Amino acid sequence: MYGSIAICSGRASTGLCRSVCRILGIEPEPVEFHQFSNGNMMVNFPGGTVREKDVFIMQSGERSILGDKTEAYRTVSGDILEMLQMISALKDSAGRLTAVTPYFPYARSDKKDKPRIAITSKMMFDLIAAVGTHRVLAMTLHCPQSQGFSNIPVDQLHAYTVFINRILSMGLEKLAFIAPDSGSILDNDFLALHAAKGIREAGGVPDISTGYVKKVRVDDSEKPQVRTVEGVDDLSDRVVIMSDDEILSGRSLILCAETARAKGAKEIYAFVTHAILSGDAVKSIEESPITRLYITDTVEFDEKAAEKVNGGPLAKVETLSVAHIFAEAIKRIHQGRSLSSLYL
């Protein structure tokens, strides 16, 4: 058994870290960051000792594109180096070090689909382990199999419970779960299964159908083309639920929503774990058939910057916090308990 829990964060996850610490009833460990004129960074822990403590270092490997990136640490690479420095600074005194990466860095780079490119997510696991980390805690990896890249234990969390609770709060029974691409079929079917279970437990009679949008990518431009919808021909009078692991330009979700609306969908709700929202994505979402986009706080969302991009207040984007999921996972890891019940 290790000493007490200690939690600190890099500058990409300060908000989520504060929320997790508040739930656990502890204060975040103070961290000082200094950037030199040549772009080098230094991390310092000016607080009390963490000797033999169970230390959790929180840092997302991505920020919303809406964020200010004028300084080195505000880039993805800068945030990764910041996390590695924090771990390295603590490795000689902490009893155990867990890297908490709500959004795992370079998660999309999980295969070699063209010659002479790096499988960068594998490299990230190697780097995290190399600086002295004992385990990794992440949420919704782009490719779950990438856990196998790591030589140290990896726990993957999901936002399923948060999404299911919001879906059930709508009080609807006639639903269609439409995956925006083939890669998200399993997640959407999982949500459909547990939504049906929740409706029955509440005394209702679920009427749920499932399907997916078949799309094709011809390059890396983030501009997919929709070919057809598989599994569903008529969405008349149904409320459509879409789910995906992350949203960049929003093009895939919008194409799915447009297709669903053309097939008669009554309302369309999207649930996405990691909200990158690049370029004018928020404006595109606001102008789309999507009724509401629910995101989580794995990536810090700058609402003021988003409103600036949109040209006014946002009406369709809402953040659901996953801080309680991370807090419970951290508590269970510390106590040596199972995380399986957190997966529904």
Please give the backbone phi and psi of residue 245, each rounded to the nearest 5 degrees, phi first: -75, -35
For residues 252 and 224, the answer to whether their CB atoms sit within 8 Å is yes
Q: What share of the chain is helix, strand, coil (3-state, %, to 5)?
A: 35, 25, 40
For residue 270, what are the CA distances in angstroms to 102, 112, 127, 167? 20, 30, 34, 10
Provide the token pair at 172.
Answer: 């609807």
CB 295 within 8 A of CB 282: no
Crossing angle for the helix pair 323-335 and 14-24, nearest 10 degrees?
60
Cross-sheet strand order for the sheet of 239-247: 225-230, 207-216, 174-179, 239-247, 267-275, 292-296, 317-320
Q: Which residues pair with 100 in a beta bridge?
A: 58, 137
Q: Write down the catalytic residue from 215, 223, 308, 316.
A: 215
- What DSSP assignment string belongs to 64-80? -TTS--SSGGGSHHHHH
Residue 69 falls in the annotated catalytic set: no
Q: Which residues are catalytic?
A: 215
